[in-house]
Amino acid sequence: MSNYHIKHLEEYFQVYRKSVREPENFWEEIAEEHFLWRKKWDKVLTWDFTKPEVKWFEGAQLNITENCLDRHLTTRGDKTAILFEPNNPEEPAEAISYRQLYERVNQMANILKAQGIQKGDRVCIYLPMIPELAISLLACARIGAIHSVVFAGFSSTALSTRINDSDCKLVLTSDGSYRGDKTIDLKGIVDEALESCPGVQTVLVTKRTGSDIQMKKGRDLWLQPLLNEASTFCEAESMGAEDPLFILYTSGSTGMPKGMVHTIAGYMVYTAYTFKNAFQYREPDVYWCTADIGWITGHSYIVYGPLANGATTLLFEGVPHYPDFGRFWNIIEKHKVNQFYTAPTAIRALAKQGTEVLEQYDLSSLKVLGSVGEPINEEAWHWYNDNVGKGKSPIIDSWWQTETGGIMITPIPYVTPTKPTYATLPFPGIQPVLMDETGEELKGNQVEGRLCIKFPWPSIARTIWGNHKRYKDTYFSTFKNMYFTGDGALRDEVGYYRITGRVDDVIIVSGHNLGTAPIEDAINEHPAVAESAIVGYPHDIKGNALYGYVILKDFGATRDRDNLRKEINQIITEQIGPIAKLDKIQFTQGLPKTRSGKIMRRILRKIACKETNDLGDTSTLLNPDVVQEIINEAL
């Protein structure tokens, strides 16, 4: 018998030991007992981090939607699978049962097929948080198409880059989206993006806002009439365990976003198993993750993990502050939410409102609180613990990444004693190590270093779409035979992990990963700009905010500096999206550079953080004088 559901600490340690000593047996037992396979695997694991290559359950055949939908029909057909809470609280919530979801996914799958989409084709999904978004993912999976969801807050340029990178044939979108009291012209953004995407043959449009939009003849089709005609049965494609399930883009330190490729079987097993344990999900709990499906958190813990467990997963279209800052608490009360998973940036924004709003709601249904996406600071942790959880709902501070597919280090609620700001212990199957800068492993406790994982787990991303070399260079070349996470971490006296933050040029703003290079590239497109450098600095709510140092081509020219700042942010919004806008822009005549011409970001970071007492060694700089100048003008 596998230990699918861990219930106490001793059991965790026992399960963990087994997962390290006999990883193949461990995962094989879980896969065997808890999932539906059309054909079992020939080999549990093949791996070589030097290539790098990882394969789980090779030779197996399955369809993930049969695991998320079909197998629940007999026992959970009428159970709510997705509970949809619209942006506008006046609009009724919609409970979609497993049977209804099954039928809607099958209909959508038939429509995709009728549009010529076949196994292995890429489909781009650019939709707001409405049921069609979850349905689209599953419909692709049903027919073996590879979905590439692009977060609907990205700009048209960001969208077209992603569509072209993976040669998507079809785009699923909506006429518009609601975001609080705003309506966003999603279809207009798609139209603009598609001007530079010759490979897209079809656009399927869901009606949401009723906005007046352009439909391009021969390319754009309304979804609703097609759905009305479509059969509610679509034979699930038999898929290989290692066939790609989806591509999801994440920022890198340089240039193009990285299309992380996740494959079917390992991802399914790992997300389902972690969901069950990290949230201690028990039927008939109502589970709510506030992330957008456009991010990995939504893929794994709104759609696949919960549905593979037959859970009820809440899908919220709106934002925490609309119609007021009580919205999250209102939803928890209204739907009697049991597990609530959100990001530190949301917690900080809500904490800023005090406790008055929150006290108007009954939050007694809550059993587990989760945090994800960035380090949670001590103050936010206590506020969440004391006021939302009333000290009785454990907080799981779960650390993981787009690349890891599922939760890697986390307390298991009611099992692992929590400690503020600590992600605590690795999940079964995860073997973290801390490395020093010379490539030596830091053994024992009370050490701090770079976080790596030394053994594969089932949901590790297998490659970067179209660029395996970049995959190898980014994750497997810094430390020999290790997956390098890009994060720093420490291990305390009892072996608990605390994630200290990124050690590369990725900055996490409001829980969103942003690479410095693409933002700098955008800024440099402004005709007045010669060069720029971006760093992060601490921000009360966002965790980090962006500080830009910008060199103008003609520094002395009389230009309205505030106007220039607006124009620069406008370019960033167009190229990437509003999430990447800079909070502060300092115009400067130079940037501190090494003799080899590399910008010393360490110094710029300290200036932005107002830590100028100890700038470290600046003697190796090509232009040490510029440092004082920048300090004098710092914002």
Residues that bind ligand PRX (CB under 6 A): 250, 296-297, 371-375, 397-402, 423, 485-487, 499, 502, 508, 513
474 vs 513 by CB, closer to ligand PRX: 513
512 vs 526 by CB, closer to ligand PRX: 512
Shortest Å, Cβ 614 to ligand PRX? 25
Amino acid identity of 634? Answer: A
Shortest Å, Cβ 19 to ligand PRX? 21
252 vs 592 by CB, closer to ligand PRX: 252
Report how far residue 323's alpha carbon sits from residue 405's, in angstroms, rounded to the nearest whole number: 33
Q: How many CB atoms lie within 10 A of CB 192?
A: 16
Shortest Å, Cβ 244 to ligand PRX? 18
Report how far residue 359's alpha carbon sits from residue 154's, in angstroms, rounded to the nearest whole number: 35
Query: How open is the CA angle 90-96-97, to the nearest 5 degrees?
Result: 145
Amino acid identity of 488? Answer: G
Shortest Å, Cβ 404 to ligand PRX? 8
144 vs 373 by CB, closer to ligand PRX: 373
- Compute CA distances 270 → 27, 64, 294, 405, 597, whole Å: 9, 12, 20, 8, 44
What the block records as the tokens of 452 is: 């790596």
Shortest Å, Cβ 538 to ligand PRX? 14
Nearest residue to the partner ligand PRX, using Cβ: 402
375 vs 548 by CB, closer to ligand PRX: 375
Q: Could you tell me which of 146, 374, 120 has the C-alpha nearest to residue 248?
A: 146
Report how far residue 165's alpha carbon sits from residue 131's, in angstroms, rounded to the nearest whole number: 27
- Compute CA distances 582 → 319, 354, 360, whole Å: 22, 27, 36
Shortest Å, Cβ 457 to ligand PRX? 14
What the block records as the tokens of 441 is: 């492993």
234 vs 372 by CB, closer to ligand PRX: 372
486 vs 592 by CB, closer to ligand PRX: 486
- Compute CA distances 344 → 109, 348, 352, 433, whole Å: 36, 6, 12, 25
Report DSSP letters for 600-628, one per residue: -HHHHHHHHTT--S-----TTBS-THHHH
Shortest Å, Cβ 451 to ligand PRX? 8
223 vs 506 by CB, closer to ligand PRX: 506
106 vs 297 by CB, closer to ligand PRX: 297
Shortest Å, Cβ 313 to ligand PRX? 17
Which contacts qualify for 535-539: CB closer than 8 Å, 24 or more apart? 535/507, 535/601, 535/604, 535/605, 535/608, 536/507, 536/508, 536/509, 536/605, 536/608, 537/584, 537/605, 537/608, 537/609, 538/609, 539/509, 539/583
Q: Could you tell me which of 142, 68, 147 has the C-alpha nearest to residue 106?
A: 142
DSSP 302: I
241 vs 248 by CB, closer to ligand PRX: 248
Shortest Å, Cβ 39 to ligand PRX? 32
Shortest Å, Cβ 363 to ligand PRX? 22
Burial class (CB in 10 A: 0-12, 13-18, 19+), 295: buried
